[in-house]
Amino acid sequence: MGSLNTLTVRQAVDHLEQGACSSEELVRDLLSARTALDGTIQGYLQMDGERALAEARHADADRKKGRRGRLLGVPLAVKDILNVTGQACRCGSRILDGYTAPYDATAIARLRAEGAIFVGRTNMDEFGMGSSTENSAFGPTRNPWNSACVPGGSSGGSAAVVAADMALAALGSDTGGSVRQPAAFCGCTGLKPSYGRVSRYGLVAYASSLDQIGPLTKDVDDAALLLGVMAGPDPRDSSSVEALVEDYAAACGSDLKGMKLGLPRDYFVKGLEPAVEAAIRAAIERCRELGAEVVEVSLPHTSVAIPTYYIVATAEASANLARFDGVRYGFRAEGAEDVLEVYAKTRAQGFGPEVKRRIILGTYVLSGGYHDAYYVRAQKVRTLIRRDFEDAFKTCDAILAPVAPTAAYRLGEKMADPLQMYLGDIFTVPASLAGICGLSVPCGFTPAGLPVGLQVLGPAFGESRVLRVGSAYQKSTDWHRRRPALAAEGGR
Amino acid sequence: MASDTIDVTYVARLARLNLSADERAAFQSQLGQILDYVQAIRGVDVTGVEPTAHAIRVQNRFREDVTADGLAMDAILANAPQHSDSQFIVPRIVE
Amino acid sequence: MKYLTTIGLEVHVQLKTRSKMFCGCPTGPGAPPNTQVCPVCLGYPGTLPVMNGEAIRLTVMTGLMLGCAISPYSKFDRKNYFYPDMPKNYQISQFDKPLCLGGSVEIDAGGGAVKAVRLTRIHLEEDVGKCIHQARRSGVDFNRAGVPLMEIVTEPDMETPDEAFAFLLALKQMLLYLGVSDCNLEEGNLRCDVNCSVRPEGQAELGTKVEIKNMNTFKGVHVALQYELDRQLEAVRTGERIVQETRRWEPEAGATAPMRSKEQAHDYRYFPEPDLMPVVLPPAQVEAWRAALPELPRQKRERFAAQYGIPEYDARVLAAQKAVADYFDEAARGASNPKLISNWVMTEMLRRLAEREMDIRDCKVTPAALRELAALAEIQAINSNTAKEVFAILFEQGGDPAAVVRERGWGQNSDGDAIGALADRVIAENAKSADDYRRGKEAALKFLIGQVMRLSQGKANPQMATEKLVQRLGRPGGTG
């Protein structure tokens, strides 16, 4: 065939069901695309071709035996932060060298039960800490639209392999924007489900009260399909919620009649790149044409969302990452004389600078004397941010906003100044703090040819609404079907 | 508003992280800037506001008191940096 | 100058659950290292804890029994510090919203006096693993990591090592009564940290607190406290300053010694555990648990005395251990003379159990069998020596007392006609003694009874033999 790697998940499912191709052929095309492209992009950390082919053949055999499954034989890429039995799970870090996952994350298990196969692990900012994938211990991933630019992060590898047709779809995780922002930077679709919608069991924790697993896909329909498989309560995750899992695929309509969409005036402020704003404004117009009523809403605590996020997230991270100590699994530094040295050296050599920075910040904001001024106060501001959204959703069904203030920037541009990097998360962290759902869909390009993402935010467990908006928008545009030249040259 | 100064050496010790002199210096200044920036939350009126520890309002999630299979010994030991007689081995513990 | 001593305890109790606090690994003792572990209790990346509802119930039941207030809202927190026996390098514990607040335990303060030791709180946490120290390194076994531990914290209400000892005994008795823990000290089911201080009489403020960590025997607590309080008294008398510190009891040396600090500054950085949801127990649930509380030792004591008419002393002995109390209760229920049951349990039963170091629950004499044995003795179907022999047989083999008596032909003869005939024969054969008795020589009757017993080979009911002889001889010195 030669171009099965360009299919969406739904197209692949159709092909497989109709016998138009086999899973093995699909995987072969992905492997050749990777061979052609990934030397430049560096989206994958690991892809065991032989094993992937063996699993694909297994799926093909199963199909012949009459097995069915919503994703039977569909190859997926997985962010290096999810546990998949028998695979390494390094979280973009040296500290997990030598660790092999002995269990499946619940989301993985549910996809596997529908027949999906997990063919490769994608690059990421170490432990999800970053917005550019430059904080990977294994080197940066590059943006398929311009290899001098970052793919966003932390799920930059997942976004890049989907955008470059090296994967049909990928899983990522979003703590403060880590699915939505790389999806925007790479021109693919990314969904952060509401907190509690998808089990976190098996997702290596960065900030436990914020983390969610989400799909990065070529269109909204695929995001709906993957969410539908992964969603639902899990007895292994106390924070997974019993709320009804809707028929997300059915929610993907083609018009927006009767919908009220909110525009947060607090998101259209200084610092928003004009080309990004122009693309967003055009997308809003399109939604209006599709029948939506657009109203202005206010999210007054937006300006304190980043401080709040960086206190809450780093505090939780400082505890979550304490377990990486060289005793039970992973990397241990050589030459330690006593246990304290094992800890201090292992962690010094095993963690990269951004992780260390956040551990120190998080330890500080929890430490005696500062706990109330920073941590407790941030938790209270978090309440206010949550209320902002609750109030806004009283007057609208979903909110339209930019995903990030800029399109992808050049590698190295923000590495020397962590604070500048953090400020780029301004439009994604509020939704994370509020625990609501958010979708990023391609909505145009900058004059430099870099993709721009439109963010659709919905209330907690309102995934159907954001999927409906995103799907209707995509059915009237072709931004999501554009592919970077790089992929076209190498992959087809 | 003036921010608190961060004693990077002390905090790094609490977090069991050895820092090089360069790292210490860089973090001292970067974290100083970040702390200045996060002071913004001090300007927010949070009187009477309850803290949010969880993004969802769920309570009483319990499991039944039933036993389940654990992890096979070979999987445990394969992941262990050092082991002997089915135990994880660490150097001397200084109390 | 006179000095006052003050003691407070933090007791860690391993709860009797089948599975661990946050995962399904078993909790039983004695398993080979790292065979009761899973990704959750090993702190593997990506794993999450889920609360064992039974551990919550057992803690709340304990709180209800000890008179605590049950928190309407309770939550778990992370306590951060690094140690090789801690899989996550934080311990899931409860910081500011424990399950139970207040409460008290009554202790025997000597000389029959009763004193209430107040409790500060009871909270739930997870146990850590075990470090096995070797020559230049340590092995770590995580079987115990994640086992539910209930921590009971007292107010500094005890004044002497004896009181601390009495507190531990009383607490253990209550916990066993409730069945929330096996309280097996050898297996470390009960461990405690001890706080103590001294201050001059008249000073309200407590002296500098010294903590002795991780004691696992009650006697150890007693001797360590004796040593430590003496040390502090000596120090204040000689004007030495006592430093606030954590010390360790070293049994070989018979002394406490300062520990090098586990964590500088003890900056535990508590914060709410994001992986666990709050516990908000509906009042109806708490009330249902309260209604299911077993009778407490004191209530049981009072009921035994009232219901069975046994002396206060008996009631106290029988109620001391729940298993013994339950046994007695079952045997005494429906017995014609519960005092006899009490006698049997307090003498023969407890003596033989002690000799064999046995638990009454493993005893082959069922409560019903004991009741029957007591009844046989009471109606004098067997005499008391025979009854003891029957008990010994039942204790070894179990079975039905009537059957044992029948099989061995030990039945006591209470056939009035047969014993009357024997009495006639004895009077005829011992005319002198009979005359002596008639003349008022009481002792002669004893001899005649003995002769009846001899002729009956010991089976005659002695009381009936007496009656028959007296009937025939008339009252000594009487009109007959």
Question: What is the C-alpha separation between B38 and A304, in angstroms, rounded?
Answer: 8
Q: How does pLDDT run across A391-449, given as a tens digit for each residue?
A: 999 999 999 999 999 999 999 999 989 999 999 999 999 999 999 999 999 999 999 99
Whole-number mean pLDDT of chain A?
A: 96
| Cα A21 versus chain centre, distance | 29
Which among C23, C25, C32 has CB closest to B86?
C32
Given pLDDT bands bounded at 50, 70 and 90, which one contains residue B3? low
Confidence of residue A489 (pLDDT cuts 50, 70, 90): very low
Sorting pLDDT into bands at 50, 70 and 90, what band is B92?
A: confident
pLDDT in tens, A204-236: 999 999 999 999 999 999 999 999 999 999 999
For residues A377-396, average pLDDT: 98
Domain that holds residue A24: 4-302+382-488
- Beta-strand ranges (E) seen in C186-325 are 190-200, 210-215, 245-250, 255-258, 271-272
Reported as a pLDDT band with limits 50, 70 and 90, residue C208 is very high
% of chain C at pLDDT higher than 70: 97
A471 among known catalytic residues: no
Could you tell me how many CB contacts below 8 A there are between chain A and chain B? 175
Q: For the residues A53-76, what does the mean pLDDT come to?
A: 97
A32 counts as catalytic: no
The fraction of chain A above a pLDDT of 70, given in percent, is: 99
- A357 CA to chain C: closest CA distance, Å? 17
Within a domain: A54: yes
Q: Identify whether A315 is part of a domain.
A: no
Identify the pLDDT of residue A363.
97
pLDDT of residue A414: 94
Tokens of B65: 């008191």
Higher pLDDT among residues C77 and C261, named by residue: C77
pLDDT score at A488: 45
Would you say how long chain C is, in residues?
480
Whether residue B87 and residue C139 make contact (CB cut-off 8 A), yes or no, is yes
pLDDT digit string, tens, across residues B21-47: 999 999 999 999 999 999 999 999 999
For B64, which residue in chain A has the nearest alpha carbon?
A: A235
At residue C475 the predicted structure's pLDDT band, cuts being 50, 70 and 90, is low
A416 within a domain of the structure (yes/no): yes
Beta-carbon contacts of A9 under 8 Å, excluding residues fewer than 6 positions away, are: A71, A74, A168, A169, A217, A218, A222, A225, A226
Name the more confident of C475 and A485: A485
State both tokens at A335.
């030459």
Whether A492 has a pLDDT exceeding 70, the answer reads no
Q: What is the pLDDT of residue C442?
A: 82
pLDDT band at C11 (very low <50, low <70, confident <90, very high): very high
The tokens for C303 are 């009921």
Inter-chain touch C45–A83, beta carbons under 8 Å: yes
Only one residue has tokens 């083999």, namely: C397
- pLDDT (0 to 100) of residue C480: 39
* Closest A-chain CA to C79: A319
Q: Does C132 touch chain B (CB under 8 A)?
A: yes
Q: Kindly give the pairing relationship between strand A260-264 and strand A293-297.
A: parallel
For residue A419, give the nearest of B8, B34, B91 by CB distance: B34
Please tell me the predicted confidence (pLDDT) of residue C259: 83
How many Å apart are CA C218 and CA C189, to the nearest integer? 12
Predicted confidence band of residue C167 (pLDDT cuts 50, 70, 90): very high
Q: Which residue has the tokens 């996952």?
A: A101
CB contact (8 A) between residue A96 and residue C45: yes
Do C142 and C98 belong together in one domain? yes
Percentage helix, strand, coil for chain A under 3-state DSSP, each rounded to 5: 45, 15, 40
> Does residue C329 carry a pLDDT above 50?
yes
Domain-embedded: residue A281: yes
Q: Does the beta carbon of A201 lie under 8 angstroms from any beta carbon of chain C?
A: yes
Measured distance CA(C94)–CA(C146) in Å, rounded: 14
Q: Grade residue A178 by pLDDT with cuts at 50, 70 and 90.
A: very high
At C465 the pLDDT is 84
CATH number at residue A287: 3.90.1300.10
For A:71-90, CB contacts with C below 8 A are 82-83, 89
Of B52, B53, B88, Cβ closest to residue A328:
B88
Identify the band that residue A119 occupies on the pLDDT scale cut at 50, 70 and 90: very high
Q: How confident is the model at residue C452 (pLDDT cuts 50, 70, 90)?
A: confident
Q: Which of A46-50, A321-325, B1-5 has the highest mean pLDDT?
A: A321-325
Residues 6+ apart with CB under 8 A from B83: B77, B89
Q: How many domains does chain C have?
A: 3
Report whether C302 contacts C315 (CB < 8 A): yes
Beta strand A75-79 with A170-174: parallel, antiparallel or unpaired? Answer: parallel
Residue A2 has pLDDT above 80, yes or no: no
> What ipTM was reported for this prediction?
0.96
**Residue C14 pLDDT > 70:** yes
Q: What pLDDT digit, counting tens, does each position of C21-65 carry?
A: 999 999 999 999 999 999 999 999 999 999 999 999 999 999 999
Give the mean model confidence (pLDDT) for residues C277-306: 94
**Mean pLDDT for chain B?**
92
Give the one of B33, B52, B94 whose C-beta lies nearest to A340's C-beta.
B94
Q: Do C45 and A209 touch (CB under 8 A)?
A: no
- The CA distance from C271 to C284, in Å, is 30
User: Is there a catalytic annotation at residue A79?
Assistant: yes
In B, minimum Cα distance to C261 occurs at: B95
CB of C272 within 8 Å of a chain B CB? The answer is yes
Backbone angles phi, psi at C310, to 5 degrees: -95, 155
pLDDT above 90 coverage of chain A, percent: 94
Evaluate whether residue A311 is within a structural domain: no
Closest CA relative to residue C75, chosen from C306, C245, C281? C281
| Alpha helices (runs of H) in C179-282, residue ranges in sequence order | 218-237
Contacts for A293 with CB less than 8 Å, ≥ 6 apart? A259, A260, A261
Residues 6 or more apart whose Cβ sits within 8 Å of residue A481:
none
Mark yes or no for CB contact A239/C277 under 8 Å. Answer: yes
Helix-then-strand count for chain B, H and E: 3, 3
B90 and C55 in contact by Cβ < 8 A?
no
The residue among A239, A301, A267 whose CA lies nearest residue B49 is A301
Percentage of chain C beyond pLDDT 90 is: 64
Residue C46 belongs to a domain = yes
What whole-number distance in Å separates Cα of residue C424 and Cα of residue C280?
Answer: 83
Check whether C478 has a pLDDT greater than 80: no
Does pLDDT of A53 surpass 50? Answer: yes
Which of C408, C429, C463 is the last residue in one of the domains? C408
Range in A147-161, C2-16, C187-201, C383-397 the model is least confident about: C383-397
Residue C473 clears pLDDT 50, i.e. is over it: yes
Distance separating alpha carbons of residues C72 and C251, to the nearest angstrom: 43
Look at residue C260 in the predicted model and tell me its pLDDT. 67
Among A79, A192, A218, A414, which one carries the catalytic annotation? A79
Out of C233, C265, C287, pick the residue that ends a domain.
C287
Shortest distance between the Cα of B58 and any Cα of chain C, in A, equals 6
pLDDT at A487: 46
The answer on C339 and C225 residing in a single domain is no
Structural domain count of chain A: 1
- What value does the mean pLDDT take over residues A296-311? 97
pLDDT in tens, C73-92: 999 999 999 999 999 999 99
Tokens for A154, please give them: 């932390």
For residue C480, is it within any domain? no
A51 burial level (CB within 10 Å; 0-12, 13-18, 19+): middle
**Chain C residue with minimum CA distance to A338:** C137
Per-residue pLDDT tens digits for A308-355: 999 999 999 999 999 999 999 999 999 999 999 999 999 999 999 999
pLDDT band at residue C72 under the 50/70/90 scheme: very high
pLDDT of residue B2: 46
Q: What is the pLDDT of residue C343?
A: 93
pLDDT at B1: 43
Give the bridge partners for C237, in sequence order.
Answer: none
Q: Which two tokens stand for residue A265?
A: 């005036």
- pLDDT of res. C476: 58
Mean of pLDDT over chain C = 91
Three-point CA angle C68, C289, C24, nearest 5°: 100
- Whether A220 is covered by a domain: the verdict is yes
Residue range B55-71, pLDDT digits in tens: 999 999 999 999 999 99
Residue C265 pLDDT grade (very low, low, confident, very high; cuts 50, 70, 90):
low
Say how far residue A195 (Cα) sits from the centre of its chain: 13
Distance CA A160, CA A172 (A): 11
| CB–CB contact B91 A341 (8 Å) | yes
Do C398 and C268 share a structural domain? no
Please give the helix or strand (H or E) that residue A456 lies within, else none: strand A451-458
One domain for residues C143 and C198:
yes
- Global pTM value: 0.90
Domain that includes residue C431, residue range: 416-473
Q: Last residue of some domain: C383, C408, C433?
A: C408
On whether residue A110 sits in a domain, the answer given is yes
Residue C186's pLDDT is 86
